[in-house]
Amino acid sequence: MTSSRAWFLTGTDTEIGKTFVSCSLLHAARLSGHRALGMKPVAAGADCVDGEWINEDAASLRAAGSFDPGLARLNPYCFANPVAPHIAAAEEGVAINPDRIREAFERLRAEADVVIVEGVGGFRVPLGDNYDTADLARELALPVILVVGMRLGCINHALLTVEAIAARGLALAGWVANRIDPAMLRFDENLAALKTRIDAPLLGVVPYVADGGPATAAKLLRLPDD
């Protein structure tokens, strides 16, 4: 079965909750009766467990999915050092091959109703000398879900990212407001400003809950409409 429901999930920056939102959307899809899988094409920062390098984000996506597709497909490129992926790849003597990522994605898509492909860092993170995550999103030809980390400066970061997505001819399927800073001043006003300036559906607002899990947050989110 080939799924037509797949999205590339990116964020306004690093450490703004992309993986948490990705896992929450996977749980939301599963609650709706769909077979859902997450993918982390490139990850930097991993621990060796039983002889296998495992990235924390990839492990979270694997746990949130309907079944385990194997790390080779879920996370084709995993680097040990928690640095920019093009630096980590160069240090390990590896060239990131888009064809390898595309093949892994197509195999996942053939097995699931919903696939969330999570990028690394923000929208334009280098993966090689002349290739970045924006290029990857364009090659996969997927609509984009944007996670906005709600903190001071998020309006500028969000609008610049929206422009970059449009500049590559990609559709912005929707965005999620993730409250990563519980002390953010004028949260409601910032949210309202984003809603009037982003021409895409707001898929949900995730509150700051220190011990909250993706399965709980799933009830606050919805998948983009087809």
Catalytic residues: 40
Structure tokens at 90: 């160069």
Other beta carbons less than 10 A from residue 101's beta carbon: 21
Enumerate residues 6+ apart whose C-beta is below 8 A from 41: 75, 76, 77, 101, 104, 105, 117, 119, 120, 136
Please say whether the beta carbons of 176 and 39 come within 8 A.
Answer: no
Q: Compute the distance between CA of residue 220 and CA of residue 204 in angstroms, rounded to an integer.
A: 6
Q: Which has the closest alpha carbon to 64: 109, 114, 111?
A: 114
